[in-house]
Amino acid sequence: MTYEFTDRLKALPPYLFKELDRIRDEVRARGVDIIDLGVGDPDRPTPPHIIEALNKAAKDPKNHQYPVYTGMNAFRETVADWYKRRHGVDLVAEAEVCSLIGSKEGLAQFPLAFINPGDVSLVPEPSYPVYRSGTLFAGGTSHFMPLLAKNAFLPDLSAIDEAILAKAKIIYVNYPNNPTGASATREFYAELVAFAKKWNLIVVSDAAYSEVTWLDQPHPSILETPGAKDVAIEFHSLSKTYNMTGWRLGWAAGNSVLIKGLGLVKSNVDSGVFQAVQLAGMAALEGPQDCVAAMGQLYKERRQVLIEGLNKAGIEVLKTDYTFYVWASVPKGLKSADFASKLMNEVGVVTTPGNGFGPSGEGYIRLALVQEVPRLKEAADRLAKLKF
């Protein structure tokens, strides 16, 4: 038999890192001690009190059946309380919150509810790839908004063509930003909400990193902006905040029609999140938050250790107070992929070339702070021996 992938699968962007994966395997085969700063996945385990809550909930037969697909009422109430506590935002849990099997799942399905074939999504680049692939799977096309250093890695809304805006349905934003670590201001969110109202757009805000910070306050939520609930839906996740990437638990919150559309898609595709996982997530959101603050301090320390080595090598990095990523400039005359393979070959440090997140990422690499301080110190010492 011959089977062919659909046009939508064929339209996915090519995987850019085949050659880099090959080099990494080759370097590893040479016996080099590789320090992997490539993946965006916290290395530390989930805090014990959350695991305890799962243990307890897993033993209760009530949790062994199909959950309510939009999430347990108690979970949604917990999310609403969290928004009130962290952001001063009022949400009606049963209409304005939906549980997700990780925020990636929700982000990927959302366009099926609001993008018709031929519609346009406004997608930042460099970015997390799901905004683009979700749009593609719904039959839409992405119009890319470059995130540039000269604009503090915020999209330039005034640069978007009016003919494109007329066809656009969704605008995506992600702050704190992966891959750059850049943040957004409340002023930017106010401008974005007004822009969305003018052009009849849905704002999708991906806030996966809002708690990954060493500041006392979380990064602002777009839902804090007056009128945001008229146009916005925010996707959030326990993955990065509580080192729970493997658990698959997130939520969407905001405009009730947007939540309803997403819920309709989901009710036809999945059957919700294991209730024991939702109960563990409630323990995470309601329990002591010192584990979150401690991770923030740890990322700050790791960042300083690594940056010292990068700076000694003559490599500049973007200043930020958020995320566990370092966005570093590639030395003049080199491409992102060349630089990443050089670091792998010469010092055994694995990084991600910025152009893998979109063309405007060319000229940068991303380093994830997902190794312990002594390993990052080792990486920094090796990097410091290079000169650019």
* Site of interaction with ligand PLP (CB under 6 A): 40, 102-104, 128, 174, 178, 206, 208, 237, 239-240, 245, 250
Q: Give pairs for 370-374: CB < 8 Å, separation 24+.
A: 370/36, 370/37, 370/39, 370/40, 370/41, 370/42, 370/43, 370/324, 371/35, 371/36, 371/37, 371/43, 371/302, 372/43, 373/301, 373/302, 373/305
Q: Give 165 or 244: the residue with its C-beta nearer to ligand PLP.
A: 244
Specify the residue, 199 or 322, whose C-beta has the smaller distance to ligand PLP: 322
Q: Closer CB to ligand PLP, residue 40 or residue 348? A: 40
Minimum Å gap between C-beta 369 and ligand PLP is: 13
| Least distance (Å) between residue 106 CB and ligand PLP | 8
Q: Which residues pair with 252 in a beta bridge?
A: 98, 235
Q: Which residue type occupies 208?
A: A
Least Å distance, CB 112 to ligand PLP, is 17
If DSSP codes are grouped into helix, strand and coil, which group holds residue 138?
coil
In sequence order, which residues have a C-beta less than 8 Å from that of residue 300 and are 6 or more positions away? 214
Toward ligand PLP, which CB reaches closer, 101 or 380?
101
Least distance CB 164 / ligand PLP (angstroms): 24
Instruction: Classify 283 as helix, strand or coil.
Output: helix
Q: Which is nearer to ligand PLP, 232 or 313 (CB)?
A: 232
Q: Which residues pair with 250 in a beta bridge?
A: 100, 237
* Closest distance of CB 201 from ligand PLP, Å: 20
- Rounded to an integer, what distance in angstroms lies between the CA atom of residue 110 and that of residue 113? 6
Shortest approach of ligand PLP to residue 204 CB, angstroms? 11
> Closer CB to ligand PLP, residue 40 or residue 218?
40
Cβ atoms within 10 Å, residue 9: 11
